[in-house]
Structure 1
Amino acid sequence: MNEHSASGKAGRRKIPSVWIVRSCVSAAMLALIFHFVPFETVWAAARQFSPGLWLAALGLFVAGHAAAAFKWRMLIGSGISYRSAFRAHLAGLAANLALPGVAGGDVVRAGLVFGQANDKGKLAMGSIADRLLDTLGLALIALVGATYAWGPRLYEATQLRWALVALALVVATGFAAAPFLDRSMARRAASGKVARILGSMIHAAAELSRSPGRLLACLAISMAVQCLFVGINIAFAQAAHVEAPVSAWFFAWTTAKIIAIAPISLGGLGVREASMAGLLKPFGADPGQVIAVGLIWQSVLYASGAIGFLVQVRRPEREKVAMELN
């Protein structure tokens, strides 16, 4: 009895409360969405999508993340092959969608290549820089989209403008200050594991700041990939006959993605769709059709996550076969 009780408790501990909370938030957001928007409206819009369009979207999505993996590899240093980086990146996609814990896909993909990295600090700092550049790229696209979509009315949205400016300043200031912090810490003997890791990360940030061309190239790749994803959603919107300007989609989709970054739901499920419907409503878009587009896009995300999971599952089998052949 005691053994069964202990094993039962251990089984229950396998599902962290954070995962349960995220699941509840996504479920609550979906329930709220379908309370205000009839499910029949969403379903009628979803039936407009052809299987060919969905498969093309999945292929373009994976291709976009192949470019994103290349960008990440540019930032994390030597010792890691592109194949390993891409495979880890795909695993990170799966983890981002439904990882039962507080660690995100960035931690998972870095962990998978940790043993290959020549500079662990550069791997950590490069992964952080990758996330910051992605967020900055989204903010810049949102700002450009808002400029064309809202026109003169954008000047009334002072909070949005200042938030985007503040984000850009934080990222720029961080990289500008890294060399000074690096020199300051080099004059002091680091004591303790945490201090050494922090010093290594600051040194990696300082090295990145000395290569502005690389940072700009990575930012350009990030923005190109995000624009590709917006383009896929615009194709979905056209299939569903959503009435909204193209510029509004660039503004709404990227802004909704920034909102969905908050770790309160399962891969942004429910939060992204509700945000995008609300942001596009002033432009004449039907909320039900927008939610249908968002859910079809979500299915592409989960399919890519499944691909990432299968790649990781098959990896040990291939390595075992290779060892037996040798």
Structure 2
Amino acid sequence: MPSAGMMPQALLDPPFARPRAAPEASRARRWSVLAKLAVTVAILGLLAAGADWASIASRLSAADPLLLAAGFAMKAATLPLAALRWRAVGRAAGFAMTRWQAFRLQMASGFLGQILPGSVGADLLRGWFTWRLGHPAGAVMLALLVDRLMALLGVLLIGLAGLPHLAAVAPPAVAWTVLGGALALGLGMAVLLVAGRLPRERLPLPRSLRDGSLGRSLWTAVGELRAMAGRRAAWAALGHSVGVHLATIAATILFARSLGLPLGWLDGLAIVPAAIVAAALPVSLGGWGVREGAMVAGFALLGLDPDAALLVSLLIGASIAALSLPGGVFWLLLRNETSSLPDSSR
């Protein structure tokens, strides 16, 4: 069991007690972080160089404080919804958490995901804490996978709902890209579910995937995913995921209207899902830069001011950062709680 003093370094490593990485892996990880930092700085730098900061400051000073507060409150609503999603996928994977425990894990991982580099840092840290609280490692890893799948499915469902409006305001290539991505994901999941019902020997797979340890592990995971598709908790997680994204869209609309932009629900359904997906891509730090670029591009399709679009995205990012700060308290409490657990609890 790592001591309390060793905990911060342990949080930087992959979860579930993986040994210390080799020097080559450590160098690769450092280069990965530097590359993401470069992408973040480059995109934000380009957007900042082309922005009219006097206009942005004027818009912010004239913003409606009530609508700003309402947007912040809607963004805050994503935290309990995300915690409920984690609790639901945990039930589907075979372990139980209370709502309060799931919320603590969500807050702590969200805080650390803001201050530590990594593509899926918040997810891994949530899983790490969940494992340290005594839940089976295999079930936690499965829950992490399903949690990401449900988040992606939720945003794609919302994107499909906004596709007709997107097709009306965007070039055909944009709408076809969204539709093609949704169909590709649906087809991929259908293939997995169908393939999971067949013996490995009947599938046209390389021998290493049929008979090797990697193949057995992958097949076990596919079987678990297929089993989870029939569990109500998994579908509840999908509902919570849709709720998280709808709250983000509502926050975007409220922030935009506080600045005097006539952004409606159809507009939000059409352009915000792309920004959500962009922010989740493992190419920048905390989604900064790519989220702003996607938001500016989306607002441009609607003929809205790009400077105001940049400000709206910065307000979203700032609200995420502010809402993550209380998670530091939950992190300290969980850190002390898990460091005192005996080895047998895991």
TM score, norm. by length of structure 1:
0.80
Q: How does 1:86-165 map to 2 (within 5 A)?
A: 86-101=103-118, 103-116=120-133, 118-151=135-168, 157-165=175-183
Q: Report the Cα offset of residue 308 of structure 1.
A: 1.8
State how far apart, in whole Å, the 1-side matches of 2:224 and 2:304 are.
45
> Could you tell me which residue of structure 2 aligns to residue 206 of structure 1?
226
- Give unpaired runs (5+ residues) of structure 1: 1-11, 185-189, 322-326
Q: 1:37-90: CA deviations, max 9, x gaps? A: 212222222224456555544444333221221122121232433333222222
Contact 1:281 1:287 (C-alpha < 8 Å) held by counterparts: yes
Q: 1:85-126: CA deviations, max 9, x gaps? A: 222222232343342245521111001011345443222112
Q: Report the AA paired with residue 307 of structure 1.
A: P
Q: How does 1:149-188 map to 2 (within 5 A)?
A: 149-151=166-168, 157-180=175-198
Secondary structure, in 3 states, of the residue corresponding to 2:155? helix
Contact 2:252 2:316 (C-alpha < 8 Å) held by counterparts: yes
State how far apart, in whole Å, the 1-side matches of 2:233 and 2:96 are.
18
Change (3 A) 1:207 1:286: same
Q: 1:146-194: CA deviations, max 9, x gaps? A: 313434978663233112211222234334444546999xxxxx986x6
TM score, norm. by length of structure 2:
0.76
Change (3 A) 1:47 1:24: farther
Q: Report the Cα offset of residue 145 of structure 1.
A: 1.4
Q: Report the Cα offset of residue 252 of structure 1.
A: 1.1
Change (3 A) 1:320 1:255: closer
> Could you tell me which residue of structure 1 aligns to residue 206 of structure 2?
none
Contact 2:89 2:146 (C-alpha < 8 Å) held by counterparts: yes
Q: Report the AA paired with residue 156 of structure 2.
A: A
Contact 1:240 1:289 (C-alpha < 8 Å) held by counterparts: yes
Change (3 A) 1:294 1:133: same
Contact 1:110 1:127 (C-alpha < 8 Å) held by counterparts: yes
Please, which of 230, 241, 248 is the counterpart of residue 249 of structure 2?
230
> Could you tell me which residue of structure 2 aligns to residue 7 of structure 1?
none
> Could you tell me which residue of structure 1 aligns to residue 298 of structure 2?
279
State how far apart, in whole Å, the 2-side matches of 1:28 and 1:278 are.
16
State how far apart, in whole Å, the 2-side matches of 1:207 and 1:231 are.
34
Q: Structure 1 residue 65 and structure 2 residue 65: aligned?
A: no
> Could you tell me which residue of structure 2 aligns to residue 34 of structure 1?
48
Q: How does 1:271-310 map to 2 (within 5 A)?
A: 271-310=290-329
State how far apart, in whole Å, the 2-side matches of 1:40 and 1:51 are.
19
* Greater Cα shift, 256-265 or 149-158: 149-158
Secondary structure, in 3 states, of the residue corresponding to 1:24? helix
Q: Report the AA paired with residue 167 of structure 1.
A: L
* Greater Cα shift, 48-57 or 105-114: 48-57
Q: 1:180-229: CA deviations, max 9, x gaps? A: 46999xxxxx986x677656534432320232x43333222211221111
> Could you tell me which residue of structure 2 aligns to residue 254 of structure 1?
273
State how far apart, in whole Å, the 2-side matches of 1:101 and 1:57 are.
27
State how far apart, in whole Å, the 2-side matches of 1:290 and 1:181 are.
51
Change (3 A) 1:98 1:316: closer
Secondary structure, in 3 states, of the residue corresponding to 1:25? helix
- Give unpaired runs (5+ residues) of structure 2: 1-25, 203-210, 341-346
Identity between Structure 1 and Structure 2 (%): 23
- Backbone CA RMSD of aligned residues: 3.5
Contact 1:233 1:293 (C-alpha < 8 Å) held by counterparts: yes
Contact 2:75 2:248 (C-alpha < 8 Å) held by counterparts: yes
The higher-RCO structure (CA 8 Å, 6+ apart) is 2
Q: Report the AA paired with residue 177 of structure 2.
A: Q
Q: Report the Cα offset of residue 296 of structure 1.
A: 0.9
Q: Report the AA paired with residue 185 of structure 2.
A: L
Contact 1:149 1:245 (C-alpha < 8 Å) held by counterparts: no
